[in-house]
A and B are shown apart, each in its own frame.
Chain A
Amino acid sequence: MNRSTPPAEYELMDDPSPKRYGRGLFLTTLFGGLTSIAWGRPVWSRLSGSLAGIESLVPLVPHGWRIYSVADTMPTFDPATWRLAIDGLVQQKLALSYHELRALPQSHQITDFHCVTGWTVKNVHWKGVRLSEIFDRARPFPEAHALQFVSAEQPYLDYLTLQQSQLKDVMLAYEMDGKPLTREHGAPLRLVIPEMYGYKGVKWLNRINLVPQAGDGYWEYLGYDRDAWVGRSNGYGA
C-alpha cells in the first residue's frame, strides 16, 4: 500500500495543552456500551414502558418479535392437505385436519413470550386448543411420560414431560393477536408454553408423538437446557 504522507500541519498540534474531549467521547461510548451488557435490559424495560406509544408508530420495526428458523425455507401451509398427527403411545392415533382442529373446544389466553436471547413480547393474545382436548381423544397409555413435538421445519423438534405439558396455560395455538398464525410465526399451529423460553414452543407443529421419556430437542442438542424455565435456566437466575 502506498505510504504517501497525509497532510501534516494542523494548528491544533501547536496548542500546548489540547483538551482531548474526542478521546473522552470515544472511551465513554465504549465504556457505556460494554457495561450495558450488565445494566441494559432492566433500564430498557423501565424506559420502554413510557416509550410503548412511540414504538407502534414505526410500522417496519418489529414489535419485539424476531423470526428464528433453522431451515432454508419456512414450511408453507396448505389447509387441504395439512394434518396434525397424534401417535406413539396412544390408544387412538389421530390425524386431525385443520378444519377438525378448529372444531375442537377453543381457549384464549394473554401471556408474555420470552426468548432465551433476551427479548420479550408482552401480552400476546393466543387462541387455540388445550392439550387435554387432544388427550381426551387420543387416550395416551400410562407409559407415555413425555411428548415429542415435531415441526414441519426439519429437523426441528422438542419435548415436554407429561407434567410440564399439563401446566394450565400450555396451548396449541392457531391464532395470535386476533389473526390466524402467519407463516413466520409457525402457521398453522404452534406450541405455546409461557413458563419456558420460546425455543420450546415448536412452530409449524404437525406431529405430537407420545413417548416414554423426554429427549433433547433441536436447541438442547446444541447445549440449551431441556427444562427451559424463564429466568431459571440456560445460565440465567439459578
Chain B
Amino acid sequence: MGWPLERLRRVRFVRRFSRTERTLHWVNAAGFLLLLASGLILYLPRLSVLVGRRPLIKDVHLWGGIGWIGALAIVVLLGDRRGILRTARELEVLEPSRFNVGQKVNALLNAAFALLFLVSGLLLWFGERDTRFRFTSTVLLHDILMYAALTLLVGHLYLAVIHPATRHSLRGMTRGTVREDWAKRHYPRWAPPPAD
C-alpha cells in the first residue's frame, strides 16, 4: 500500500514544552489579549465612544491585570517549578539552544513588560486615589509598553501561525511535541528528549 504509511511510521516526535510551560503560555496569552482589548477601549477615542461603560471596562482591566499576574504566579507555584527555573536559566544566555535568540529576546522582554505593566497599572490606579502615587510619566510608560508589546506580538504571531517554515512550532505549544526532523533543522544545538 505504498509510502504514506511508511512515512507516517518514520515521523518521530520529540517533547518540546512541559505542561506547565504550555499552561503558562496560554494563561499569559489570554490575560494579555483581555488587557489589550480592554485597554484599547480606554485608550482609543473611537472605541471609547462605541463601547461606553467606562467604569465597567476600567474594572475589567484593573482586575484582569491583577488576575493575569496572579494566575501566572499560581501556575508556576503549582506546576513544575524546577523546570521553569531551568528554562529561565536557559533564557539568560543569549545563544541558540532550545530557543533561538529571537525567541529568547521575545520571552525576556515580555516578562519584563508584564512586571512593568503591573507596576504602572497599579500606580495609575492608586494615583487616582492618592496624590503620593501620581506621576506625570506613569501613563506614558503604560502606553509605550502597550505599543512595544503589540509590536512583539505581531512578530510572534506571524512566526508562530503564518510563516511556513516556523509555524510547525505551534504544535509544540498546543500538544507539547514537535517533529524530530523539524526540531533538528531549527534547533541544531538542542538535544531533545523523545516524546513519551
Residues of A within 8 A of B (CB): 1-13, 15, 18-23, 25-26, 29-30, 33-34, 36-41, 44, 60-62, 65-74, 116-119, 183-184, 222-223, 234-236
Q: B79 to nearest A CB, angstroms?
A: 4
Contact of A3 among B16, B79, B134 (CB under 8 A): B79
Contact of A118 among B94, B129, B138 (CB under 8 A): B138
Q: A18 to nearest B CB, angstroms?
A: 4
Contact A66 B136 (CB under 8 A): no
Contact A36 B137 (CB under 8 A): yes
Contact of A26 among B108, B140, B190 (CB under 8 A): B108
Given A7-B193, A11-B189, A22-B108, A222–B140 Cβ distance below 8 Å? Answer: no
The 7 closest A-B pairs by CB, nearest first: A235-B131, A40-B137, A118-B136, A6-B18, A29-B112, A33-B116, A67-B48
Q: A151 to nearest B CB, angstroms?
A: 14
Residues of chain A with a CB closer than 8 A to B184's CB: none
Instruction: Tell me whether B44 is interfacial, beta carbon within 8 Å.
Output: yes
Contact B112 A30 (CB under 8 A): yes
Residues of chain A with a CB closer than 8 A to B8's CB: none
Q: B102 to nearest A CB, angstroms?
A: 12
Residues of chain B with a CB closer than 8 A to A116's CB: 134
Contact A10 B45 (CB under 8 A): no
Contact of A10 among B16, B98, B109 (CB under 8 A): B98
Give A68's nearest chain B residue, CB to CB: B54
Q: How far is the CA of A105 from the CA of B90 in the complex (A)?
A: 71
Residues of chain A with a CB closer than 8 A to B21's CB: 6
Q: Which of B65-73, B119-127, B156-164 contacts A (4 or more CB under 8 A)?
A: B119-127
Q: How far is the CA of A1 from the CA of B23 in the complex (A)?
A: 9
Q: How far is the CA of A202 from the CA of B111 in the complex (A)?
A: 40
Contact of A41 among B78, B115, B137 (CB under 8 A): B137
Contact A25 B94 (CB under 8 A): yes
Residues of chain B with a CB closer than 8 A to A30's CB: 112, 115-116
24 A–B contacts from the bound complex (CB under 8 Å):
A1-B79, A4-B19, A6-B18, A7-B14, A7-B15, A7-B191, A9-B193, A10-B190, A12-B90, A12-B95, A12-B97, A20-B92, A22-B92, A25-B112, A26-B109, A29-B108, A29-B113, A33-B141, A34-B119, A36-B140, A41-B136, A69-B52, A184-B48, A184-B49
Instruction: Tell me whether B26 is interfacial, beta carbon within 8 Å.
Output: no
Q: B60 to nearest A CB, angstroms?
A: 14
Contact B137 A4 (CB under 8 A): no
Contact A10 B90 (CB under 8 A): yes
Contact B18 A5 (CB under 8 A): yes
Q: How far is the CA of A11 from the CA of B104 in the complex (A)?
A: 16
Residues of chain B with a CB closer than 8 A to A66's CB: 42-43, 45, 48
Contact B86 A8 (CB under 8 A): yes
Instruction: Tell me whether B62 is interfacial, beta carbon within 8 Å.
Output: no
Contact A33 B145 (CB under 8 A): yes
Residues of chain A with a CB closer than 8 A to B130's CB: 223
Q: How far is the CA of A22 from the CA of B110 in the complex (A)?
A: 12
Q: How far is the CA of A65 from the CA of B192 in the complex (A)?
A: 51
Instruction: Tell me whether B166 is interfacial, beta carbon within 8 Å.
Output: no
Contact of B83 among A5, A33, A69 (CB under 8 A): A5
Residues of chain A with a CB closer than 8 A to B139's CB: 117-119
Contact B42 A37 (CB under 8 A): no
Instruction: Tell me whether B55 is interfacial, beta carbon within 8 Å.
Output: yes
Instruction: Tell me whether B100 is interfacial, beta carbon within 8 Å.
Output: no
Give A118's nearest chain B residue, CB to CB: B136
Contact A36 B141 (CB under 8 A): yes
Residues of chain B with a CB closer than 8 A to A235's CB: 131-132, 134
Q: How far is the CA of A116 from the CA of B129 in the complex (A)?
A: 12
Contact A118 B135 (CB under 8 A): yes
Contact B15 A1 (CB under 8 A): no
Give A63's nearest chain B residue, CB to CB: B45
Residues of chain B with a CB closer than 8 A to A13's CB: 89-90
